[in-house]
């Protein structure tokens, strides 16, 4: 587990970008998707972090808080990020039952090794997530300060 403190949204975006750049270096014999579970405070910076993450994956479209959309798929064309093809952004803020996510073809999405799947409010659907999900927790310290904790050791950013 490792904690980062950010003082501005731009720093949180940068941390997301650094994680994106490290992704090809995450060593695991994966036969399924790379899944990140984001949890923690509302306004903690999950979407902000993802904006930097998506930019780091070479995605030009802006990642928004999908308040009314549960899931959005982005094509990854950045050669450095190959072998990944798609980045899925899922937001479970409004989810009441895991079935709502399963109905989106979730099992198939998380079983494709060419997918990167990042889920906000992932703790709400914990029971359907893979065991090797990388967990990141966001906490509000004060107005501009956020604590971002990588709960899974193997994604430590140095
Ligand atoms: P979440 O997706 O976790 O609900 P958002 O990323 O949508 O959070 O919102 C974070 C809010 O907090 C934004 O309004 C942002 O401007 C503000 N903020 C203030 N300080 C920070 C920081 N250090 N990192 C990220 N966001 C911050
Ligand atoms: Mg959000």
Residue 62: pLDDT over 50: yes
Residue with the smallest CA separation from ligand 1 atom 19 is 144
- Residue 109 · residue 88 · CB < 8 Å: yes
Residue 141: pLDDT over 90: yes
Mutate to test the pocket of ligand 1, among 45, 145, 147 (most ligand atoms within 8 A of CB): 45
Residue 157: pLDDT over 70: no
CA geometry: angle 17, 139, 49, nearest 5 deg: 15
Q: What percent of the chain has pLDDT over 70?
A: 91
| Ligand 1, pocket residues at CB < 6 Å | 6-9, 11-12, 42-48, 65, 120, 138, 144-146
- List, in sequence order, every residue forming a beta bridge with 34; answer none if it has no partner: 116
pLDDT of residue 134: 94
* 120-133 confidence digits (pLDDT tens): 999 999 999 999 99
pLDDT of residue 158: 46
pLDDT of residue 28: 60
Task: Please state, in angstroms and rounded to a whole number, the distance separating the CA atoms of residues 85 and 73.
Answer: 10
What CA–CA distances, in Å, run from 40 to 20, 61, 86, 103? Answer: 20, 25, 25, 25
Q: How confident is the model over 81-94, as a mean pLDDT?
A: 92
Q: Given the structure tokens 């949890």, which residue do they identify?
A: 39
Strand order in the sheet with 86-91: 2-6, 146-150, 134-140, 34-40, 115-120, 86-91, 71-75
Residue 17: pLDDT over 70: yes
Using CB atoms within 10 Å of the CB of residue 97, give its burial: 0 to 12 exposed, 13 to 18 middle, 19+ buried.
Answer: exposed
CA-40 nearest atom, ligand 1: 3
* 21-49 confidence digits (pLDDT tens): 888 676 566 789 999 999 999 999 999 99
CA of 43 to the centre of ligand 2 (A): 7
Domains of the chain, first to last: 2-25+32-148 (3.40.50.300)
Residue 69: pLDDT over 50: yes
Which range has the worst mean pLDDT, 2-11, 27-36, 95-104? Answer: 27-36
């Amino acid at each position: 587990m490792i904690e980062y403190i950010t003082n501005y949204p731009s720093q949180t975006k940068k941390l997301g970008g650094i994680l994106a750049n490290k992704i090809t270096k995450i060593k695991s014999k994966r036969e399924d998707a790379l899944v990140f579970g984001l949890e923690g405070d509302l306004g903690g910076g999950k979407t902000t972090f993802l904006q930097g993450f998506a930019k780091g994956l070479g995605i030009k479209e802006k990642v928004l808080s999908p308040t009314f959309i549960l899931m959005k798929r982005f094509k990854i064309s950045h050669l450095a990020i190959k072998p990944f093809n798609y980045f899925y952004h899922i937001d479970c803020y409004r989810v009441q039952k895991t079935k709502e996510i399963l109905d989106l073809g979730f099992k198939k999405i998380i079983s494709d090794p060419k997918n990167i799947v990042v889920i906000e409010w992932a703790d709400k659907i914990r029971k359907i997530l893979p065991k090797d999900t990388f967990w990141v927790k966001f906490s509000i310290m004060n107005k501009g300060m956020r604590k971002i904790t990588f709960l899974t050791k193997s994604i430590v950013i140095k």
